[in-house]
Amino acid sequence: MMKTIIKFSTLFLTILFVACNDNNKHEIAMKYKTEFIFPKGDKITNNNFTGTAWLQMLVNNDSTYSTTIGNVTFEPGARTNWHKHPGGQILLVTDGTGFYQEKGKPAQLIRKGDVVKIPPDTEHWHGAGPSNSLTHIAISPNTDKGSVVWLQPVTDGEYSKIK
Ligand code: MN
């Protein structure tokens, strides 16, 4: 009888341990399961954007790296104003689809996984398409050459021409 009780206890404890262990693994998995690698950040409230966009700075400018890096999320319809970077810019698209356009050229569709190299002093805009959101990491190097030069908004007329 005693032996049976011990056996049952062992079995019960084993089941309990396995159950807890599974539960623990599940909890750990849930804790680290985030849809995006970097935080969405705060809503951008300045006039250099049209629509709703979010920014999380990842690297602030300093004299060692002369680079800023920000994670930017554009809701559908949101885009930057026309602008240029004296030191150029690189975009790493991490989610969704959107557009990149250089002045005088057609807008280009950009999607998750794309790398966009924007030459210095080239007037352009980037942002979401009308019905999809876009998230990209914006790397702005060579900040010693000057910071971003903001220009006029991308008008609804200009934006409506993207395909
Ligand atoms: Mn740019």
Task: Give the rounded distance of the alpha carbon of 65 from its chain centre.
Answer: 21
Q: Output the CA 89–ligand 1 centroid distance in Å.
A: 6
Distance 50 CA to ligand 1 centre (A): 14
In a shared domain, residues 53 and 17: no
Count up the domains in the chain and report the number: 2
CA distance 52 to 33: 25
14 & 47 share domain: no
Does the pLDDT of residue 81 top 80, yes or no?
yes
Could you read off the pLDDT of 33-74 as tens digits, one per residue?
556 789 999 999 999 999 999 999 999 999 999 999 999 999
Structural domain containing residue 110: 42-160
Q: How far is the CA of 125 from the centre of ligand 1 (A)?
A: 6
- What was the pLDDT predicted at 36? 77
User: In 3D, which of 89, 101, 102 has the Cα closest to residue 143?
Assistant: 89
Q: Are residues 79 and 8 in the same domain?
A: no
Indicate whether 14 pLDDT > 90. Answer: no
The verdict on pTM exceeding 0.85 is: no
Same domain (yes/no): 111, 55: yes
